[in-house]
Amino acid sequence: MHPAPSVIIFTTLSGIGFGLLFWLGLGIPSVTGWSAFAFFAIAYLLAVGGLISSTFHLGHPERAMKAFTQWRSSWLSREGVAAVAALLVMALFGAGLVFLSTSWTPLGWLGAFLSLAVVYCTAMIYGQLKTVPRWKQPLTPLLLVAISLAGGALLAGQVTYTLISLPLAGVIQVVWWVTGDKALTESGSNLATATGLGKPGQVRAFEPPHTGTNYLLREFVHVVGRKHAFKLRVIALLLGFVLPVLLLLLPFNHVFAVLAVASHLAGIAASRWLFFAEAEHVVGLYYGKR
């Protein structure tokens, strides 16, 4: 798939933003006043900023509001509804902490649940697609939720939770890569199924379907060399998971904490680029792309 920058920014920033809102909804960390305002401001800048960036990938951004009407059948619509609900509930919960130094616990729990629901809906936009076998696996929503929770814990300054959730998310990421590499082959899709010509006999391409590029090739086929993919996976793993953990194991220092967050964001951005770039759409089989 074509790794659009807007979608990479969206999934990276909104994931960690809603992850932070999840922990804040649970009262972690326990803050009020200006401290609460700072945490909520960071969470909203990331979550809302990510959501706004996603609209730049729409062919008609002016029609974005129509997405909210299809919540019965569309994960994209459910994501939008859940996002608005989470942001409104957490705004009210945050107002109590900031202005009244009061924690409305049930409201916070509801906001935490809705924040996690947003990330799950985002994951299912991709995880439901049968045409992309790498995404169509139970680990896809688990991966995005795990990274969101780990990133949120890191931003919330919860070292213990981060040291547990971040390595776990890293393991899920590696397993997701390994299972994804076999997904297209194990899906049973091939040139015969792509063309519908499998019944008469073995199918092979005589010549390319087109002499030039087209919309399908631009949007749904993106070939990444195995060597480059492996290097990027190592970079994503080291920056997104390993280095932040190592920095947190050092004696606490604000500089180390900032570096841990920056490293995590860079690593997750790299893994998100691979998430799209390595996704083999079955239409690529028709064009002889694997």
26 pLDDT higher than 90: yes
Tell me the DSSP string of 33-49. Answer: HHHHHHHHHHHHHHHHH
Share of the chain above pLDDT 90, in %: 61
User: Count of residues for the chain?
Assistant: 290
Would the pLDDT of 215 be above 60? no
pLDDT band at 69 (very low <50, low <70, confident <90, very high): confident
How far is residue 237's CA from residue 171's CA, in Å, rounded to a whole number?
A: 9
Q: Residue 120 half-sphere exposure, CB side, CA atoms within 13 Å?
A: 12
Closest CA to 229 of 154, 155, 162, 134: 134
Query: Residue 178 sits in which domain range?
Result: 5-286
CB–CB of 141/109 below 8 Å? no
Confidence of residue 191 (pLDDT cuts 50, 70, 90): low
CB 154, CB 166: distance < 8 Å: yes
Q: Which of 132-136, 182-186, 244-248 has the lowest mean pLDDT?
A: 182-186
In the predicted structure, residue 265 carries a pLDDT above the cut 90 = yes
Which residue do the tokens 């087109």 mark? 210
CB 263 within 8 A of CB 248: no
Q: What is the mean pLDDT of residues 59-82?
A: 77
Q: Which residues contact 240 (CB under 8 A, 6 or more apart)?
A: 147, 170, 173, 263, 264, 266, 267, 268, 270, 271
pLDDT at 47: 95
Can you give the CATH number for the domain in which 125 is found? 1.20.1630.10
**pLDDT at residue number 12:** 93
What is d(CA 5, CA 259) in angstroms, rounded to the nearest whole number?
23
Q: Considering just the CA atoms, what is the radius of gyration of the chain in Å?
A: 21
Q: What share of the chain is helix, strand, coil (3-state, %, to 5)?
A: 75, 0, 25
Q: 92-151: per-residue pLDDT in tens? A: 999 999 999 999 999 999 999 999 999 999 999 999 988 888 999 999 999 999 999 999
Type of residue found at 30: S
Closest CA relative to residue 229, chosen from 54, 3, 8: 3
The residue whose two tokens read 């960036």 is 53
> In the chain, how many domains are there?
1
User: Looking at the predicted structure, is the pLDDT value of residue 274 above 60?
Assistant: yes
Give the tokens for residue 73: 């059948």
Instruction: Copy the structure tokens of residue 98.
Output: 């900031």
**Would you say 240 and 268 are in contact if contact means Cβ atoms under 8 Å apart?**
yes
Question: pLDDT band for position 190 (50/70/90)?
Answer: low
